[in-house]
Chains A and B, each alone.
Chain A
Amino acid sequence: MKHIQHTFTALLGLVLLLPACRWLEVNPDQYILAEDALETPEDMQALLVSCYDVLANLYDGDVQLMNELRGDNTNEPLSNNDFKAIYNRETIRWTSYVGGVNRDFFYPVLRVNSLLSSFDLIEGLSNEDRNRMEAEALFIRAFCFWGAVKMFAQPYGYTADNSHPGIPLPTFLRDAPFPRASVAEAYGQIEADLNVAIAGLPATNGVYATSHAAKALLSQVHFLKQEWQQSADLATEVIESGEYALEQPESDSAFVVMRLPIGSSSSETIFGAYSTLSTNDNRTDQFVQWWQPTANPEISLTTDFWNWFQQIAPGANEDHRALWLANQPTEGKALLTRFNEHSFFNVPLIHLTQMMLIRAECQGEMESGLGQAIDDLNTIRNRAGITSAVYLLGTDATSEDVIAAARHEYRKETLGMGLWVEQLQRRGTMGEDIVIRNAPWDCPGMALQFSASEGNVAGFEFNEVGGCN
């Protein structure tokens, strides 16, 4: 009987001990548990840097390329089915490239919201740093909302009160998905974020966002809202800040790499994405992959675009920017050589030329400050090598002349950067009869379709498919 008792006691001990076994306690060593990830100001800074990191991945040519395909500069893509769907304005939930970019827009947003919700957990974080981090975070969030709403919704002004569907606006962390907000709400949120950003950002901040970047972005927002005065005022603040200057390439060929230097920031880049040569950190993959003219590139410009390009100051001798193009008339296309000089480079996302052109067009619309606008436009043309008075604006240029020149230069200067189609849409909302490749500017398919994943929880409102061709 003693044996039984001993055995039973031993076994009972085993039974009781095993559940307490430490084998149940595991730690994913190669990760950081969320509760341990953000403890110091340095952690918060690292999280903030990660927001820029994914933003740079998003703008490594993806967004720019997709917006070019929505516009009227390019031919139909060669073979990529997703690109063709964008070009043909027939994206569907399963157009994977678009779905990927849809998702990419919200990685930075998640990180921003994680940062904003963690300030109270951090010891030793100064108010100054906190304000700066918050401002940087909100700038990034606004940048993402802004990029997404232009791509996945009809433009501001599509409806009178802008109540048409915009994008989800996750402004804080929660498990439940966010509904799709209206375009008015999206623009409201973007402006609110940017106003906080402007107040909290420093004037200089290395490669990261500054108050000028936030003002420049807000200027663009107002521009698309046709709020000319606010847009021009903000642009003026940036231009007159003294922080930026137009690049003056030393040779004709240097135009090819204008605003794209590696190793140092361009003097006219107000905000950009940065590649780092020393660590082989390349943030220009999509530019290089799809535009690269060495072979038969997936994306090319139309002959119509080439002809338009030659309307003013034809030939590279007159307009050095013609070096960005290689015309192949027999093939019915022109190749964009602009991204061909380096295997990777820095990507300008907001730059001084853009501000000058926006301000000029605003001044044209307001019919005030035309002299300054004419000076800016001629400066830009001079910088491009155009010296003939025939191709420069005279002092007697009208507001219409200014607007036309500003638009012309905007299309040229932002070539390949995906910024042209939004201007066409803006003009459409202003009542202009804008037709983009035989379809009205506001046909349903102009708004790219959201990723299928948005429908994984019932109730999401998708865009109408197609309807453009």
Chain B
Amino acid sequence: MIPIQRIASTAFALALFGTAWAQGTVKGKITDEQGTPLPSATVAVSGGNGIFTDFDGTFELQLAEGEYTLSCSYIGYLTKTKKVSVKNGETMTKNIRLSEDAVMLNESVVVGYGVQRKKEVTGSIATIDSKEITAVQTPSFEAALQGQAAGVQVTQGSGMAGSASIVRIRGLSSISAGGDPLYVVDGIPITQDYFAGGNSGAMNRNPLASLNPNDIKEIQVLKDAAATGIYGSRGANGVILITTKRGVKNGIQVSYGSSIGYGESTARPNMMTTEEYLTIRQEAWENDGGTGYVWLPLLSTPGSSPDARRRAHEQALETNTNWFDLFTRRAQKTQQNIGLRSGGEKWSMYNGVSYDKNESYAIGNSYTRLSARTNFDWTPNDKLKVLLSGSTSEGRNQRVRGGWSGGIGASMSTALPYMSPFVLDSTFDANGNLTNTERNYELNRWFNPMAYQDLIQWRETERRQIATGQIVYSPHSRVDVVVNGGYDNSRLENDSHEDAYLDRTNGFSYANWSEYNARNYNLGGNATFRVLDNDSTSLSLMIGAEAQKFESDGFGFNLRDSEGPAYDITTLRDSLFGLHDSLYDGVSSVTNAYPIQYRTDGFASTFARMNFSLLDKYFFQATARVDGSSRFGENNRFGFFPSASIGWVASDEDWFNSETISFLKFRTSWGRTGNANIDGFSRFALYVDQSQGVTYAGDTLVFPTQPGNPDLRWETVRTVDASVEMGLWSDRVSVELGFYDKLASDVLMNVELPSHTGFNNRSVNAGEVLNRGVELGVTSNNLSGPVLWKTTLNYAYNHNELVSTGAFTEDAISGGTNDSRAVTGAPLTTYFLVPFSHVDPESGLPVYIDIDGNETFEYNLEDRRAVGDGLPDHVAGLRNEFSWGNWSFSSQFTAAFGAKIWDSSAKRQLGVVTDWNMRTDLFDRWRQPGDISSFPRLTLDETTYGLPAGFPWWNTSLFMYDASYVRLRNASLSYRVPMERGDVTFRVAGNNLFVLTNFIGLDPELTRDFENRQDRNFSGGANYLTAPQERSVIFSIAANF
């Protein structure tokens, strides 16, 4: 096929320069610094208009004899000019390599409800393009943001497939309301509920996993009030704008990618062998005054006779199971994706399809995503543009238990090395002869985690459709009117089947099904008026409104004696809800059918933005937004969120004259943003009645269940930002340095009420949280020429402080079971523990620090205090890219410093000897007077360590560790094979290749399961049998033509 562009460009040139009898030819190729062709780049000729390059970056011009200047430009690259001398009948080749525009003054930046030139932007916005997202091959795109932008802290999810990362932008301002940024896809805020599936199996679902990273064109991270203010109601924790790929005009581009890879755990737990565990346990027993053999959990009891204990000991030594090995493997990964960008004169379309199967190293665990997207743009005339987008995806998570729930978590806790997953059951005939031997799961004595792994089928399936539409009408060259709508529909099915073998009492199998549906409707419109627009001065006004409605509901049921999972009985499932179980006699028995509570809430907003540009070097922006939310009562339903910002490009001043500084811009902003990410019904005082299925003595009842708070209002964040942007040495190096100060007030807190109030919790506005920090971003083109070397560094320091919690004390707000508390004067996520000092060399007992700072042997919970927190003070990313010819190499390091890990599971892995297996770190324990050790004398009795009898929760800083780390997040080597039409790139990439840390546990970067939003905010650094990160190697091929 003859490229349409080539025909067009030739015809255009002929028409322009028309004199066919006296001409020469100029042809060439426009590429980036790595040699990658730049399609649709503009090649302008002095004295005339320009043409566009072909798909492979080539161009060809027929010009009359003479001297010309070619000007080559491409968005995001520095324009380059070249003089050519055209002679009759000659053909000359001019290949032109464009450099990326470090400052990208003229780059278009997507902002809320529009696009601006980067030069004009007065807010703090980081842009991450698709190359950076897909270079780090992660199952979910948000994990790829790690280390990409200053002030954006990403903590990867655990190594379990489908787990969610934590993204924090400029720290954390919220306590009980969600602390995650708002995600906006093609202008529509999407549903992002991390708790639709609770934390079953010790994992939260990832609501972003259904988005295909290959569909993303670029991501903008809006950080300060000037940027987020236009999203006022929900911008308090930053906004992430996701723009998906769209079609091209007059042509077709095809991209295809395929990859395979392998993954394994980044670390292995150092659990004890049978012999080691028995030694440790015996020593604890003897330290406590015991004689003879120690009793062994599951094999003997404290009351067993000495002989029984001896026999148990001998039996234990016959088995040594490495449970972690039994639950893990080398995982396989595969991905296929194809993208088709096409278009004609008035339309363009992007179609993308992808298949991604991502096994985790946990046996039986995988996340498979099948997705498709179509983006269609239609421009019937120069006044109207219609943009339609639709995506559908199915994410299937083949689940296994983890953490506290079993599986890998059990291999680090309850799965004792002397226990075997199987027993041999023998059958004998009447004469006592062995007739059969069968290997079965051992279930009679314990909660055998292998049985619960193998005999339970469990899958979660999310089906999600997102559709957006936008009509842009420009009745006048200075007016754009936009009407848009969106619909985000997701259905999460949780389906499990427990084999009858697990029910040792009745022998029933069980199928459990639940279905959660969420629907999110958006409708909005805005109009932009460019009141004044000339070369040096412009004024534009934008005014708009939008509304959003969210609904969720669902149902669930349990089937007894079901032969298989409920999804295999679809007719049953579809007709089940609300019907009596007798209808299903002979198929299975419904033991429980229940609705999942209907939830709904809505937002309605009006907003306006004014942008004023004076002399193209002074820029002013003001935004105002009024948001109403159904989550607040009528008195406080509406919040007002203004912002104002200015920018000054000092380098454009006449007096500015520097050979070093090629670009200098100052900007500052002030603004208020809000947060309403709480349960939609928190404000209501509520009663429930017998419709919930409760009666007493057969009589109906009604009772209060929630106190409500009619005065509940918006959490607001006041942000001040001041930044400087610099381009050095002709923008070869660009630097951005920023300072911010965010004070959140009226922070929403779901406080636990005193028992005697008769209510459990109440939502109030009571807190104040401060985030103050510095951000630095540096991009340097270190080398140009045959070898290119580019370095990108970003660094952020953040000070987080809980300024006030009103009248409430530390324990009123906590992070689930993770011992983090809301401590005034300390950061959020603060661990509130009894400080540990050292092990007394004489007695081997732990020495604590009391509230007055004195050493004591007494463990007193009244001595708890803030001892550390899980928020890093410093976060950094360093990326290096090298290219030589067709070879490219890149590496990306990420680092975090200043956070602490609270290893809650170490309380039992390294504390009082209980019925858990323990870690070999415990070998460094006190054994005799004079020993200097990390851990105290061993004991089976918690009172030895000063704990109250019956209180084994040893909440001491002994188990708090420095979480600082430097990680090689990604390294990749690629080779590009130029083709006649396009190219093919081969790549090998490694993720999480190594980590430097002092943490003695598995991985310093961890995300455990959380119970709710508050827990997610508070417990980011807490560990409880959390599966470590995954290390992976991916081989991929990418073709573009």
Q: A residues near B, CB below 8 A?
A: 3-4, 6-8, 10-11, 14-26, 28-35, 37-38, 43, 45-47, 49-50, 52-54, 56, 80-85, 88, 90, 92-95, 99, 102-103, 105-107, 109-111, 113-114, 167-168, 170, 175, 177-178, 206-207, 274, 276, 278-279, 281, 331, 450-458, 460, 465-466
Contact = CB atoms under 8 A, between A and B. Distances in A.
Contact of A29 (B303, B598, B626): B598
B340 interface: no
B549 interface: yes
7 contacts: A18-B606, A28-B684, A31-B705, A49-B700, A274-B696, A456-B751, A456-B808
Interface stretch (B277-285, B343-351, B473-481, B574-582): B473-481
Contacts of A107: 758
A438 B696 CA distance: 42
Interface string B745-767: 00000011111111110000000
Nearest to B698: A276
Interface in B683-720: 684-692, 694-708
A356 B464 CA distance: 70
Contacts of A278: 698
A8 B811 contact: no
Contact of B952 (A49, A81, A106): A81
Contact of A455 (B545, B597, B699, B809): B809
B758 A170 contact: yes
B606 A103 contact: no
B1040 to A, nearest CB: 41
Contact of B807 (A34, A35, A458): A458
A126 to B, nearest CB: 19
Contact of B688 (A18, A31, A80, A454): A31
Contact of B525 (A11, A26, A206): A11
B692 to A, nearest CB: 8
Interface residues of B, number: 83
Contacts of A50: 696, 701-703
B855 interface: no
Given A19-B626, A93-B861, A281-B695, A99 B755 contact: yes
Candidate in B483, B545, B686 with the most chain A CB atoms within 10 angstroms? B545
Given A26-B630, A37-B687, A279-B698, A3 B606 contact: no
Nearest to A6: B475
A90 B694 CA distance: 36
Nearest to A104: B755
Interface string B542-560: 0111111100000000000
B655 interface: no
Q: Which 5 A-B pairs have the closest CB atoms?
A: A110-B758, A23-B602, A84-B950, A34-B685, A456-B812
Given A31-B705, A32-B687, A109-B756, A21 B604 contact: yes
A454 B755 contact: yes
Nearest to A454: B754
A456 B606 contact: no
A277 to B, nearest CB: 10
Interface of B: 303, 473, 475-476, 479, 481, 483, 523-527, 543-549, 595, 597-598, 600-606, 626, 628-630, 637-638, 680-681, 684-692, 694-708, 751-760, 807-809, 811-812, 861, 948-953
Contacts of A111: 703-704, 758
Nearest to B807: A457
B685 A453 contact: no
A391 B450 CA distance: 60
Contacts of B756: 106, 109, 167-168, 170, 177-178, 454
B695 A26 contact: no
Nearest to A83: B950
A106 B758 contact: yes
A24 B628 contact: yes
Contacts of A94: 861, 951, 953
B546 A18 contact: yes
Contacts of A105: 755
Contacts of B751: 456
Given A31-B687, A32-B688, A46-B702, 17 more contacts: A11-B526, A15-B544, A18-B524, A19-B628, A22-B602, A30-B691, A31-B688, A81-B950, A85-B950, A88-B950, A109-B758, A168-B754, A170-B758, A178-B756, A276-B697, A452-B811, A457-B808
A48 to B, nearest CB: 8
A206 B705 CA distance: 27
Contacts of B697: 49, 52, 206-207, 274, 276
A35 B692 CA distance: 19
Nearest to A54: B703
A49 B703 CA distance: 9
Contact of A3 (B476, B695, B704, B754): B476
A434 B606 CA distance: 74
A31 B681 contact: yes
B951 to A, nearest CB: 6
